[in-house]
Amino acid sequence: MLVAALLILAGCAPRPLLERAIRARGGPLTGLVSRTEARVYVGAPGTWQSTHALLVPDRYAWKIVTTADPLYHLFDGATARSFVGTAEVSSDASPRAPLRSHARWTAAVNLDALRAPGVAIAPLPVADLPAGVHEGLLAIFPDGTGYRLGFDDHTLLVWAQGFLDFSPFGKGDVTARFGNHRRAGRLLLPFATSYFLGATAIVDEKVLAVCVDPPGLTPASFGDPAKLPDCP
């Protein structure tokens, strides 16, 4: 009942903060490929290099560099698939596939997917805002999944909370802090992110390179590793 009430309330609310945040970072974002370096503290501790890709509304890809063939996790909007090199090793079309949570999280924190019909937006009460957050919003997707997003006094995203599934290492509500906002083409994007599961630090991630709306990124990129563009 609480989720239903929030959906009704938020669905009637104006969206000035979301629109201001998209303008503040430089405008809409359709697709993104980023190359990152992550210091991982749980599961497989160490320093890892990855490539992440997003295509609005919910396509997502994650390539992990290893000493052998790279690992790919691709979500095409319906099915999550994993590959070692170009060989498919698993496929999961269930609504509980862990990669779906990463796709939804990535879509939420990149904002544009929140404009979709059926996504309800409501302001966060000032009392609920953590230190360093000037204003915030609650976004609820049609399936009831919610994300809390916080923005600084320049309306740049600096904080987020929502569900992420890192199975088999853990899952639950994750808090992220975003910083070091820098220009990437026409956009102003965070180049550093720290993730926490409760009070436990999970990952400190820094962006090495960003390619905004690369022409080689298409829906086909999320079903075949060979079609996933890199960001040099």
Token code pair at residue 108? 């939420």
Is residue 193 assigned to a domain?
A: yes
**Looking at residues 171-180, what average pLDDT do you find?**
95
Is residue 77 assigned to a domain?
A: yes
Report whether pLDDT(153) > 50.
Answer: yes
Domain range for 219 is 2-227
Report whether pLDDT(2) > 70.
Answer: no
HSE value, Cβ hemisphere, 13 Å, CA-based, for 177: 15
Percent of the chain's residues with pLDDT above 70: 94
Is the bond leading into 57 cis (omega within 30 degrees of zero)?
yes
What is the phi/psi pair of residue 137, to 5°?
A: -140, 155
Can you list the positions of beta strands (E) in the chain?
Answer: 31-40, 46-55, 59-64, 71-75, 80-84, 87-92, 120-123, 135-140, 146-151, 157-165, 171-184, 187-197, 200-212
**Looking at residues 211-227, what average pLDDT do you find?**
95
Q: How confident is the model at residue 14 (pLDDT cuts 50, 70, 90)?
A: very low
Choose among 57, 64, 98: nearest CA to 81: 98
pLDDT for 8 equals 45
Q: How confident is the model at residue 89 (pLDDT cuts 50, 70, 90)?
A: very high
CATH number of the domain residue 214 falls in: 2.50.20.10
Distance CA 118, CA 231 (A): 33
| Averaged confidence pLDDT in the chain | 92
Q: How confident is the model at residue 170 (pLDDT cuts 50, 70, 90)?
A: confident
Is residue 232 assigned to a domain?
A: no
Report whether pLDDT(5) > 90.
Answer: no
Report whether pLDDT(6) > 50.
Answer: no
Q: How many domains does the chain have?
A: 1
Is residue 158 assigned to a domain?
A: yes
